[in-house]
Amino acid sequence: MAAPLSYLGVGLDRPRVGVFEFTSCEGCQLQLVNNEATLLDFLNLIELVNFREAMSERSDDYDIALVEGSISRADEVARLKEIRTNARLLVALGSCACFGGVNQLKNRFGDLDWVKKKVYGDFPIASQEVRPLADFVAVDLMIYGCPPKKEEIEKVVTNLVVGKKVAMPKYPVCMECKANENICLFTLGEPCLGPITRAGCDAWCPNHRRGCWGCRGPAEAANVRELEAIMARHGFSREAMLDRLECFGGFSSQVAALRGQPRRPRKARSSKRS
């Protein structure tokens, strides 16, 4: 049995945590068990009661729900609402849960029947427009990325347990990239969304000479028009920029504005239990 937890001499309760997935690759969940160096300490901090990828036991009695994946079927909507009802806190885990992720790329075709025909042929399958969790229930916290960095997941969960404020960076990836003394990828001939994407990943992709694709969504006061000028100055087309902006869904409103399309309104949520 795990020893009682304390922080600065104050006793702590181990929250009961459930981990769930919807339409996704399940890579975000794998990050939870992928940090072997601190895994035992992390598991001692919480009580896992529902996690299909890591345990056979199941319980609907949990305080925190970590939810991966976007919503693409009617039955997923019902299941998500049930999870929301059970959870004190619901955390959207990863780009699919936060923005729709790569799954939402099918929405831009504008003809769901055509998409299903191309992918599945005549095989009948239930599928609808892909949408993020917040379109259906109130989300208390978002952990961005595709996948999120495992260190960030542990930090966020630890802060929740000890009662510390969870604060996500408001500045762009470029600041982390410069702090890591990387050569700007535009100089190397690679397009990059680092100037407008929310930081917090420690410039994960640029560190490996790969341009940012915006999986963490927009930084505060992201200047998309200035990015367009930067792209043009380095010889990249507007369409190349839009392709990147559309990839994970986090810049959907900015893309709609650039393409001159009306933004789809979202329902307001009056209660987190909705």
Q: Is 105 helix (H, G, I), strand (E, B) or coil?
A: helix
Per-residue pLDDT tens digits for 209-260: 999 999 999 999 999 999 999 999 999 999 999 999 999 999 999 999 998 8
pLDDT for residue 267 is more than 70: no
Q: Please report, for the chain, the start and end positions of each structural domain, with discontinuous segments joined by +.
A: 5-162, 173-259
Q: What is the mean pLDDT of the chain?
A: 90
Whole-model pTM? 0.89
Class of CATH domain 5-162: alpha beta
User: Residue 41's pLDDT is what?
Assistant: 84
